[in-house]
Structure 1
Amino acid sequence: MSDPETTTEPALRRWRTAAASRSEQLGALLLLTATIAAIGWANLSGSYEQFWGTDVRLSLGDAAIHLDLYHLVNDALMAFFFFAVGLEVKQELTIGELTDRSRAIVPATAAAAGLVVPAFIFWLVAGGSGAAHAWGVVISTDTAFLVGALALIAPKHPARLRVFLLTLAVVDDIGALGAIAIFYTDEVHVGPLAIALAALAVIAMVRFLPSGRGPLYAALSVVVWFGLHEAGVHATLAGVAVALLIPVAEPRRHDVERVVELTRAFRQSPNPAYAAAASRQLRESISINERLQRSFGPYVAYVILPIFALANAGVVLDGPTLERAAGSSVTWAVIAGLVVGKLLGITLATVVVQRTGMGVLAPGLTIGRVTGGAALSGIGFTISLLIIGIAIDDPALQDEARVGVLVASVVAFALGWTILAVLDRRRPVTPPGSTLLRPFDPDRDHFVGPADAPIMLVEYGDFECPFCSRATGMVTEVMNHFGEDIVWVWRHLPLHQPHPHAELAARAYEAADLQDHRLEMSRALWANQDRLERLDLLRYADEIGLDVDRFEADLASEAVARRVAEDEDDADLMDLHSTPTFFVGTARHHGNWDAPTLIAALEASRRA
């Protein structure tokens, strides 16, 4: 009988991907709607400026801050946006794409060029306008609009392009935040800054408290915001400063297993104590960074960013304004910086890094598709509008720059859509990993069954993956069904981030194979997935009768490490990033991998 968790996992992944795409489309649609509403309000009613100029008083004890609604949105609400950005940056730097140097160096370098080249083009074009110092307007890509635009365009096989653009956007955001902190902060008051820094130091220690961390994080974050605001530093940076101190980590196996134990106890004896313990353990098994991203994400995308657009995009598009914008070097500097600068900077940097061998593009990602993504990166909305308000004092120049941002965003979207659409028609992308890269080799591969069997099932997996351990029973059922007509091939794909012991376990399997005991070692590894430290592996070697000294030497040998790495390299070139992954014959199997489904796929393969 198939495991329900096993059979629903691929379907769950597909549902999550579809849900994320719908969420991104909705966020971009709300942002666009708010932008259009702001422009309509500003042009049809004189109350726009009056409304956002309404005074607001914020007080904390005897300390009070006077703001208008416009600055309340830009300085206070946008701190939540930067908090969400900071959480994403911390996750990517700690456990995400930016931890893999070979994969991260291409989008990171492209992002750096996408900061410098647009700024330089803006400076050249706007040099005589008196606003050349506002180059920060063109350095940032609007992540919400970017992923929403990609979801709307829906190019074929967008996954790798999306990851590339999100990684690029993270580095882009780091650069934009640094520019605000360094170049667009005037006078700094030491006393309030010291208070903010002290609060940040306390925040860094909160992670060590056993409970009550959430309210303390919230209270100290308010102190940081007030401190930075009074110090003269743009207060939105409080959001990213706090976020970078929030811990992030992969779920630990022990915590996940504890959730299962408490859930089982509650099922057997339902009572409030077990329910509360299970709920608390379930929540705490996920790092607070990821919990906060899920909590804040919808509010930022569906509330804060649309309100920001409503407060900032209200440009009066009357004849005189459009006439001034058409002849304004500031307007054209913004358009040239975002549209031309982003396209050239990102594309050329990607070509240089790839051709010099400094980095590699992920499988299925071509220079042409990167060019389409680079064009979309010219959609510079949120931070661009924010920096206009910080860097430019003249209201007329502000309007000219806002017109440039709006025009550039429309042109960048149309250009990116055109490039990706043309590529999809003329150079359709073959999804990486659809065909087995390296053929079955009986002299090298580990397999069970006749080498010349008419049916072949290839599995990429790792010994710490719980789904792989369940799949072993499924493979046995499939093998029993086909008998001598099938050969099953095992290849290593240790997932280093979620399964830190998987590579060592794969080496143990290879070291045991050198003494003809790989099957016995695999059974020990599957039975003890939560005990895969080096001493554990030596104990298993002793229990199955291996020469332990030789096993230990082989475990650390370069030959064994290379044998595992070869399988890993094949998987990487095919863009395999989940376990288990199956190939029926040489074709990748998509969908559920319970025994009945795989048997049906293998039968179809035999008929074909």
Structure 2
Amino acid sequence: MLSTRRVRSEHRPAPKQTGDRVGKQKQDWVRLVADRLRTESGSALLLVGVAVFALLWANSPWSESYVHLWETHAAVGIGDFRIDMSLHHWVNDGFMVIFFFLIGLEVRQEFAVGSLRDRRQALVPIVAGVAGVVLPALIYLAIAGREAPEAWGAVIGTDTAFLLGALALVGPKMSSQLRVFLLTLTVVDDFLAVSIIGIVYTESVQWMPLAVAVVCLVLLFLLARANEWRSTPYIVIIVVLWAATLLSGVHPSLAGMAAGLLIPASDPDREDVVRAKRLFRDFWQSPRADAARNVRLGLAKSISVNERLHEVLLSPVALFIVPVFALANAGVDLRGGMLGNALTSPVTWGVVAGLVLGKFGGIALGSWIAVRAGLGSLPQGVGMGSVFGGAALSGIGFTMSLLIISLALEGEVAGQAIVGVFIAMVLSWVIGWLTFTFARVKMNETTADLPTTLSRPVDPERDHMLGDPDAQVTIVEYLDFECPFCARATGMWQDLGEHFSDGGARYVVRHLPLEDYHPHAFQAAIASEAAANQGKFWEMHNLLFANQERLDAQYLRGYAEEIGLDLERFDADMLDETLPQRIRADMQSAIDSGARGTPTFFLGETRHSGAHDARTLIATIEAQRKELAIRRRS
């Protein structure tokens, strides 16, 4: 009996290993699909799939179940307070508020730390966005103003998810600069569209709930002014705000957008990051539950409430809320002559013309006029052909269009407008693809991005370098001595130096003082070059980073004395015109290489994008070395 058990035991691992292997393959497949859906192109294809499914369901023998599902009522209540709505209204007036709240968060981010902070950079997409709202509305009213004038708002919005997904599929392979331009444009577009929804499509107003909503907005404003970093108080007030707005009769989308605009956004503060690092060290030394809680709170405090909420909501909105909205609103019964009537209806073609021609013409013309008038400039690397391609894709209205149609129209006319939205989506996609192809072939616009190659090769005689000058791996950092996250401040290079301890890497720094944000950075860079003239660049480099809060001219001479420089020579070098010229040359090489902020890293001659922590950089470098070894062997 024992030997039998032993034999069975010896034979059990084989099928178990096979089962484990199959299970792991399934997990890998699920993970791969999930990762794909989280991409911009994946989420766009998901929306297309859901919309097609809704159409098929609504035109199938089971179409009644589609209608009955969304007419099913659901209620929530506390005591005598009760909100009772159909599932269709829960989706449009409940779930979609989270979508508009996310838009509000993005607008606030753009104004605080993004592209809308720079007036000259933001003015062209702002003008284009406004023109892309006005012209479509005028075209729609000219075609369908007699039949359904109230639906003019259906052509003013662009579906950002669809736009970016289509751009990833038919646009240039490298298009991050065009993407930023289009995002700025859609921020303006969405802001105007949501404002119009809240103002134009509000039928009646209940003043008491509206007063409660106003109080909630004031409380959100006061929380932001008080620098409240916890997200819970904001969430509680936003839930009350939604309920009050819903009861007031104003469409809740406006409350969602307004709430998002009031959530504070900012870049991480260096002191908060350092504090979080100390808390993690405490947990490392004593892994207790209270220490873990302190780490979580410290990490949360180092990131703005806006960014944390945006990160939490982005995937649920893209993968659940918007697809459910598409499922609830895209199902149009085209039977019984409905499709034929739609194809001959002014409402259908008013929507098509407004979205396809109006968006393309408004955005393209608005961009061209703004540039020609000198109001601003296009982002570096973005040509007018690429802007025209993005303008064509902006005719994909989908989410905004379907929502406004559900508010403005009913019955067969609503179905005709929805058919127009689908036709416009297909035409915009095709015209965008043709426009990008033309721009690539005829205008030589192969990319719409910043340069990615180091414009000036590393020169051991000129550049400041650590490590073996002949090393195979080169890390170039463009830095700013007031930048709180540059390499010496974070200790990144120490980790890289330990990993490549065999002398296989060299570290080079170049100057990129951001004078608009860091008033003392340029003078500090001059001080480092004055120290370099006496062979002590790195000593001054370390001291400047150690004293980032004290970089005024009165302190720089003290640092020179501290590291033992000849002070008379240092004073003379600080007035030498060649040192600012050297720094300006570094800054120009940064611009020519596509660097716009600090720190920016180049691994070899290629600009690194994404996280710049030591582990990420090491992994990227090791991947490059493996690829290089494979090429050499082949």
TM exceeding 0.5:
yes
Which of 171, 175, 200 is residue 158 of structure 1 equivalent to? Answer: 175
The question of whether the paired residues in 2 share the 8 Å contact of 1:509 and 1:521 is answered with no
- 1:233 is the counterpart of 2:250: yes
Cα distance in 2 for residues equivalent to 1:230 and 1:57? 14
SS at match of 1:247: coil
Cα distance in 1 for residues equivalent to 2:543 and 2:204? 63
- 1:128 is the counterpart of 2:138: no
Give a deviation string over 1:200-247, Cα, whole Å, max 9, x none.
212223347798944432332222112212222102222122222211
Cα distance in 2 for residues equivalent to 1:548 and 1:50? 85
Give a deviation string over 1:504-540, Cα, whole Å, max 9, x none.
2332222564687686466334345363234666324
In structure 1, the partner of 2:204 is 187
Partner letter of residue 391 of structure 2?
A: A
The question of whether the paired residues in 2 share the 8 Å contact of 1:511 and 1:560 is answered with no
Cα distance in 1 for residues equivalent to 2:535 and 2:585? 20
Give a deviation string over 1:12-68, Cα, whole Å, max 9, x none.
xxxxxx969853233223222221121112111223223222233343442333422
- Shift of the 52–552 alpha-carbon distance from structure 1 to 2, 3 Å rule, reads farther
TM-score by length of 2: 0.79
In structure 2, the partner of 1:543 is 559
The question of whether the paired residues in 2 share the 8 Å contact of 1:334 and 1:404 is answered with yes
In structure 2, the partner of 1:43 is 59
- 1:328 is the counterpart of 2:348: no
SS at match of 1:358: coil
The question of whether the paired residues in 1 share the 8 Å contact of 2:213 and 2:244 is answered with yes
Which of 363, 366, 387 is residue 346 of structure 1 equivalent to? Answer: 363
In structure 2, the partner of 1:433 is 451
In structure 2, the partner of 1:404 is 420
Greater displacement, 139-148 / 228-237: 228-237
Displacement of 1:253 after TM fit? 1.0
SS at match of 1:65: strand
Which of 278, 291, 300 is residue 261 of structure 1 equivalent to? Answer: 278
In structure 2, the partner of 1:15 is none
- 1:419 is the counterpart of 2:435: yes
In structure 1, the partner of 2:319 is 302
The question of whether the paired residues in 1 share the 8 Å contact of 2:229 and 2:301 is answered with no
Q: Percent same amino acid among aligned pairs?
A: 40
SS at match of 1:236: helix
Which of 376, 379, 395 is residue 359 of structure 1 equivalent to? Answer: 376
Greater displacement, 161-170 / 396-405: 161-170
The question of whether the paired residues in 2 share the 8 Å contact of 1:82 and 1:236 is answered with yes
Partner letter of residue 579 of structure 1?
A: P
The question of whether the paired residues in 1 share the 8 Å contact of 2:523 and 2:553 is answered with no
Partner letter of residue 599 of structure 2?
A: T
- Shift of the 574–171 alpha-carbon distance from structure 1 to 2, 3 Å rule, reads farther
Cα distance in 2 for residues equivalent to 1:325 and 1:536? 70
Partner letter of residue 415 of structure 1?
A: I
Cα distance in 1 for residues equivalent to 2:67 and 2:399? 19
Give a deviation string over 1:72-125, Cα, whole Å, max 9, x none.
211111111111111111111111111122222222221111111111111111
Cα distance in 2 for residues equivalent to 1:459 and 1:535? 21
- 1:509 is the counterpart of 2:529: no
Give a deviation string over 1:394-449, Cα, whole Å, max 9, x none.
41211111110011011111221232244445525266424555799999x87679
In structure 2, the partner of 1:468 is 487
Greater displacement, 354-363 / 286-295: 354-363
- 1:391 is the counterpart of 2:415: no
In structure 2, the partner of 1:492 is 511
Cα distance in 2 for residues equivalent to 1:270 and 1:181? 50
Displacement of 1:551 after TM fit? 9.2
SS at match of 1:46: helix
- Shift of the 19–575 alpha-carbon distance from structure 1 to 2, 3 Å rule, reads farther
SS at match of 2:252: coil
In structure 2, the partner of 1:89 is 107
Displacement of 1:568 after TM fit? 4.0
SS at match of 2:177: helix
Displacement of 1:173 after TM fit? 0.8
Displacement of 1:491 after TM fit? 3.7
In structure 1, the partner of 2:599 is 579
Cα distance in 1 for residues equivalent to 2:583 and 2:136? 44
Displacement of 1:334 after TM fit? 0.5
In structure 2, the partner of 1:6 is none
- 1:73 is the counterpart of 2:91: yes
Partner letter of residue 308 of structure 1?
A: F
5+ residue gaps in structure 1?
Answer: 1-17
Greater displacement, 116-125 / 512-521: 512-521
In structure 1, the partner of 2:21 is none
- Shift of the 580–526 alpha-carbon distance from structure 1 to 2, 3 Å rule, reads farther
Greater displacement, 376-385 / 431-440: 431-440
Partner letter of residue 601 of structure 2?
A: T
Cα distance in 2 for residues equivalent to 1:582 and 1:375? 35
Cα distance in 2 for residues equivalent to 1:367 and 1:550? 51
In structure 2, the partner of 1:9 is none
TM-score by length of 1: 0.82
The question of whether the paired residues in 1 share the 8 Å contact of 2:531 and 2:540 is answered with no
- 1:62 is the counterpart of 2:97: no
The question of whether the paired residues in 1 share the 8 Å contact of 2:230 and 2:305 is answered with no
* Aligned residue runs from structure 1 range 12-31, under 5 A: 22-31=38-47
Which of 119, 136, 142 is residue 137 of structure 2 equivalent to? Answer: 119
- Shift of the 299–489 alpha-carbon distance from structure 1 to 2, 3 Å rule, reads closer
SS at match of 1:56: strand
In structure 2, the partner of 1:376 is 393
